[in-house]
Each structure stands twice: as structure tokens, then as C-alpha cells.
Amino acid sequence: MPRRSGVALVASLLGFTVITVDVSAVNIALPAIRDSLSGGMAGLQWVVDAYTLMFAALMLSAGALADRIGARRAYAWGVALFTLASLGCALAPGIGVLVGARVAQGAAAAIVMPASLALIRQAYDDSRARARAIALWTVGGSVAMAAGPVLGGLLTDSAGWRAVFLLNLPVGAVILGLLVRVPRSPRRPAALDGGGQLTAVLALAGLAFAVIEGGHLGWTSGPVLTAAALALASGYAFCVVEARHRRPMVPLGMLRDRRVAVPLAVGFAVNAAFYGGIFLLGLYYQQLRGMSAIAAGLMFVPMSAVVTATNLVSPRLAERIGRRPVIVAGQLIFTGAMLAMLPLAAHTPVWLVLVLLLPLSVGGALAVPAVTALLMDAVPQERAGTASGLLNSLRQTGGALSVALFGSLLAGPGGDFSLPGMRIGLLAVAALVFATAVLSRLLLPRS
């Protein structure tokens, strides 16, 4: 049984890593994609957000799917689809095809994420062993997010941006081979909520379109106002559908537990800060400072090292002093990281840039393992897939909206990088993370 648990953990870790690397590696490849396929800043935002939005929206149903058909089967389907979609991205002849393939990638990643965490939940019955396994799973994702730009820069400069997607093919094959040795997962009753899923997709798509295109078409333009209205109407419809459904994909009653609601809010805010920061820095290094893709990627090496070390320390620190202090401290450090980036300019010394980015590496890596473990302990085992799907859906939504916001603010006259826009975005996400830090301090239990 320990050996099988280890295989399940490795398979889950690889899948989580590859779908996370895809996000940050593509950020470094964006200038090369723009030069190859055109599309402007709006096109680049859609390359990122087409993935994260489908990831966020479909993960709500994907969690229930993992419960219904079994985590192992759902995970295998998701990995296979992600691998095929990655091939489609690598062969894309234009920006429209690439965005479409990214949509398919996001749909597959939505299945992989909650199923991977549900596999771990089912493989480890002991709460302490499960907490350490979740910490390792989180380490893989955090390291992948931080190391993705390095890998993306190396591949883009040496073999072209298409190699970023081709890398996913052998990894997908390895994961499918490991799953043969993982025991079948139990199936649990979980209804697929078509109405809730449709309204969730419409709400997120409308909101993303309004934020992305608002910076290019104007915030009072007809298409932007229509998209905003669609987002509001669909969001309201989603709440109505979920309240009336016999087996909703998002049980609204579960959100009344502060051990569930607060971690969800923290996950949204932390990912908004981290995804926005990675997107911002990738463009800052290459567009404002004129670095090559590989040089820009190497600038993330210190972040990767600090993230790894902090992720390993976080669960032990949470066991010793409690999860709430760790979660609050991580968010406060992240708030400081956003504020520390405000002085960045075209000629800021490289050593100072690296020093200013250290808090960005520590904050999320400290908070996320404790938040994830807290949520998993707060729900019964039969709700593990649903809860993990909801957490990661909100995390991806935060990242997608942050990228949309930063992209709209960063596009200066003539497409130049806008420093004032960068600073407005940093202040906005700093305020968001500080607000959830206050909520964590006031509402989470002490132990």
C-alpha cells in the first residue's frame, strides 16, 4: 500500500507540474509568439486567458466528474486530452488556432487538477501523511510556476516557442504509464450540473472579455458593456441554479463554513498576485529592459529556489505554530512584495530587481500549502473532488482576471510598456491580498 500511494503521488505530482509549467513557460514565450503569429497585446492576453478561463470554469464540474467516475479514470482522460491539445498548440498556424488549442488545453487541465488532488486524498488515510503528501504536491506546482519561465526561455531561444508545447508530450506518456499501477478509485454519487456549468462559463468569459477588451476598445464601448452585462446576468443565474439544483456542483451551503470560504478567498487573491506578477515580469524583462527570452527566464531562477525552500518549510511551520499564522504571514509578505515592485523602472539595477522579488517568492509558497490542507481537512472525503475543484477554480479565475487587468494596464501608446499602468495593477492586487489577510486573521480558527 505505501508503494502504491507513492506511485499515485508521483503521477499526481507530474500532472500538476506539467499543467502549471505550461502557464508560466508560455508567459516568457509571448513576445516570440507575437512576432511569429501577430495579434498584439489583446492576442497575447487571450493566449494566456483562454487556457486559464477554461481551466477555472470547467474545474467546477471536473471535481464532481472525478467523484462520479473515479479519480484515476478522470485523471487519465484529462492527461490524454492535455497531451493532444499541446500537440495542437505546437502546430498552430495562426493566433486564432493557437487560442482554440489553448481552450482545449484548459479544459483538460480542469480535469487533471482536481482529480490529482482527489487521488492523493484517497491514497493517504492518515491526516499527517496526507498533509505531507499535499505539501509535496503543492511544492511541485509552486516550483513549476517559478521554474516555468526558465524552461520557457531556454526552449524559446534554442528551439522556438513551439517547443514549449512539445515538451508536454513525453511527460503525458509517462503519467499514463504510471496510472496503470494505481488502484482504481471508488465512484461516488455526484450529479453533473449542466445549467450551473453553462452559466459559470458565460460569467467568466463575459468578465474576461470586458477586462481584456476594455483596455483596447474603451470601457464604455458597446461590446465591453454587453460583456459586462452578460457576466452579471450569468453570475446571478449561476447562484439561482445552484440554489435550486438537487445536487449542485457547488453546494452553496458548504460556503457557510469559514474554514471553506476563507481558504477559497485566499486562493483567489494569492493566485491573482502570483500570476499577475509572472505575466508582468515576463513582459518587463523583455519589452522594457530588452532582455532575450533565455535571459528573462534566468531572472526567475532565484525565485524558483526560494519557492522550493519555502514550500518545504511551510507544512512543518504550520504543524508547529498553527495554520492561521502561516496563512496570514504569507499574505502579508505577498502584499509587501507587490509594494516592493512599485519602484521598478527600465534602468533599475538587476541585483536590486532580484532582491525586490524575494518576497514574491516567499508569500504564496508559505500560504498555499496551509490553505490547501486546511480546506481538505474541513470537508468529508466524499467532497474532496468538489472542494479541490472549487479551490483551484477560484485560484485560476484570480490568475486569469489578474492577467487581463495587467494586460489592459500595461499597453501604453503605440503598444509600449506602461510603467504607470504597471504600478496601478500592483497596487490593486496588493490591496486584494491585504484584504484576505485581514479576513484570515479574523475568521480562521486559531489551531
CA of residue 81 relative to chain centroid, distance: 19
Residues 119 and 258 in one domain: yes
Q: Residue 354 domain-assigned?
A: yes
Distance CA 305, CA 47 (A): 27
Domain endpoint, select from 204, 222, 248? 248
Residues 370 and 409 in one domain: yes
Residues 6+ apart with CB under 8 A from 391: 263, 264, 267, 371, 372, 375
Q: Residue 235 domain-assigned?
A: yes
Give 381's DSSP letter: G
Here the cell at position 164 is 514549449
328, containing H or E segment: helix 323-340
Number of domains in the chain: 2
Domain endpoint, select from 229, 248, 267? 248
Q: Residue 260 domain-assigned?
A: yes
Residues 411 and 331 in one domain: yes
Q: Residue 125 domain-assigned?
A: yes
Residues 81 and 148 in one domain: yes
Residues 112 and 17 in one domain: yes
243, containing H or E segment: helix 222-244
Residues 203 and 173 in one domain: no
Report the predicted TM-score, pTM, of the whole model to 2 decimal places: 0.78
Residues 243 and 259 in one domain: no
Residues 163 and 230 in one domain: no
Here the cell at position 219 is 470601457
Residue 343's CB: how many other CB atoms inside 10 A? 11
Residue range of the domain that includes 239: 193-248
Q: pLDDT by residue for the chain (447 residues), tens digit each?
A: 455 677 878 888 888 888 888 877 888 888 888 888 876 777 888 888 888 888 877 877 776 777 778 778 888 999 999 999 999 999 999 888 999 999 999 999 888 887 887 788 777 766 677 777 877 787 777 677 767 888 888 899 888 899 999 999 999 999 988 888 776 766 666 666 778 888 888 888 888 888 877 767 777 888 889 989 999 999 899 889 888 877 777 777 788 888 888 999 999 999 888 888 888 888 888 888 888 888 888 888 888 778 878 877 888 888 888 889 999 999 999 999 899 889 888 888 988 888 888 888 888 888 888 888 888 887 776 676 677 778 877 887 888 888 888 887 877 665 667 888 888 889 999 999 999 999 999 988 776
Bridge partners (DSSP) of residue 32 are: none
Q: Residue 435 domain-assigned?
A: yes
Residues 335 and 264 in one domain: yes
Q: Residue 282 domain-assigned?
A: yes
Residues 240 and 258 in one domain: no
Q: Residue 188 domain-assigned?
A: no
Residues 222 and 362 in one domain: no
Positive or negative, the Cα torsion across 342, 347, 348, 351? positive
Q: Residue 176 domain-assigned?
A: yes
Residue 49's CATH number:
1.20.1250.20
Residues 276 and 366 in one domain: yes
Distance CA 249, CA 258 (A): 19
Rg, Å, the chain Cα set: 20
